[in-house]
Amino acid sequence: MLQEPAPTPLALLLMGREEDLRSERGVSCPGDLPMASDPDLVERARVAKERLGDRVYILGHHYQRDEVIRFADATGDSFKLAQAAAGRPEAEYIVFCGVHFMAESADILTSADQRVILPDLAAGCSMADMAAIDQVEKAWARFEELGIADSMTPITYMNSTAAIKAFTGRHGGSVCTSSNAERALHWAFEQRERVFFLPDQHLGRNTAVRQMGLTLDDCVVYDPYKDNGGLTDEQLRDARMILWRGHCSVHGRFSVDNVREVRERIPGVRVIVHPECRHEVVQAADMVGSTEYIIRAIEAAPAGTAWAIGTELNLVRRLADAHPEQQIVYLDKTVCYCSTMNRIDLPHLVWSLEQLADGIVSNEIRVNPDDAHWARVALDQMLALPAAPTVD
Ligand code: SF4
């Protein structure tokens, strides 16, 4: 008689059980993670949320699955959600349906007695993970040796770890979002003559070239896996923007061919993309902006208009469902979800809520106090950015 093969440890890891001690974060879900096929998941989430009442506040990022977003008390981009958490001091637990760096920001901005929970600790961000703090410290040490660190303002995108935000705060820099990157760069160049932009090279380049009038030659890309970042000393000294070699695995997929193809297929279509897309894609698009900007543009568009949207698919699909009066298509023909964001599914949300309702706090995100202090300095600097200068 054939024996059933024993499940592999890897399969258990993918199910969110067990623990990978070699991984940065592990994927442990102590207790019993419900099966995705459990027909009572929706009811279990509802009951657990009701048991917790005002003690819990659930945040849902725009790129989350529908099954999770339906339970969110607030939806938005990462910074809006961190601010929403800070605006709910009565909530003992913040359940963050997003990725790791977002939960860190919520922990930094909320009070010490609020506890931030990430339902699956393996929900990281490939872009944030492209800038490890030891790599960034090593690059900075090189800039010091070259005598250019003192003339450089570090700016980090919100999509970075707390350690990178803290590095930015320690060196007199600021955090930015995709909505205020231009203001952050104006401010940074007023402080010093160079900018060190982390971790998304595309947001940095697109903002510098499209909105600030810098040239592509003013920007160089620092590759942490190459000696001297893969650059000569002269290139580092001459650059006005040193861009970290990081990118978003979702937005980096869109291509100029996608834009060309959709224009041929849908006459009159407006192409709107996120600034995390590659420079040539942004140049080929009609409109460029953050997720909030894209949502507002679609909401304000006249009925009967056609749109091809270059951002994460969950958001595009929800916009298409909410606006049947418009023709909305995904810019890439290939389906592309943010795979790490999608790790937060209904079984993990149910598991988190039921644990909390039973008084068990698992998967809490706590930033160490020193990093939290300096990351807060960089976040406060962002909030203090002056208004954008008027451009005629
Ligand atoms: S969409 Fe891109 S930047 Fe956003 S969480 Fe996913 S990998 Fe990170």
Q: How far is the CA of 248 from the centre of ligand 1 (A)?
A: 5
Pocket test for ligand 1, best of 105, 125, 274 (most atoms within 8 A of CB): 125
Please give the average per-residue pLDDT across 278-288, as a whole number.
97
Q: Which residue has the tokens 């997720």?
A: 291
What are the pLDDT digits (tens) for 141-158?
999 999 999 999 999 999
| Helix (H) or strand (E) run with residue 270 in it | strand 270-273
pLDDT at position 268 is 96
Question: For ligand 1, what atom is nearest to the CA of residue 125?
Answer: 8
Q: Is the pLDDT of residue 2 over 50?
A: no
Indicate the pTM of the whole model. Answer: 0.89
Question: For ligand 1, what atom is nearest to the CA of residue 340?
Answer: 6
Please give the average per-residue pLDDT across 41-57, as a whole number.
97
What are the pLDDT digits (tens) for 73-101?
999 988 888 889 889 999 999 999 999 99
| Helix (H) or strand (E) run with residue 67 in it | helix 66-69
| Chain centre to alpha carbon of residue 387 | 24
Pocket test for ligand 1, best of 340, 343, 344 (most atoms within 8 A of CB): 340
Domains of the chain: 9-124+340-366 (3.40.50.10800), 128-248 (3.40.50.10800), 254-330 (3.40.50.10800)
User: Closest residue (by CA) to atom 6 of ligand 1?
Assistant: 338
User: Closest residue (by CA) to atom 5 of ligand 1?
Assistant: 125
User: Closest residue (by CA) to atom 3 of ligand 1?
Assistant: 248
Q: Which of 204, 199, 78, 200 is nearest to 132 (CA)?
A: 199
Ligand 1-lining residues (CB < 6 angstroms): 63, 99, 125-127, 159, 248-250, 312, 338, 340-341
Cα 158–23–162 angle (5° rounding)?
A: 20
What are the pLDDT digits (tens) for 351-360?
999 999 999 9
pLDDT at position 28 is 60
Distance between CA atoms of residues 17 and 30, nearest Å: 7
Distance between CA atoms of residues 202 and 251, nearest Å: 10
pLDDT at position 336 is 74
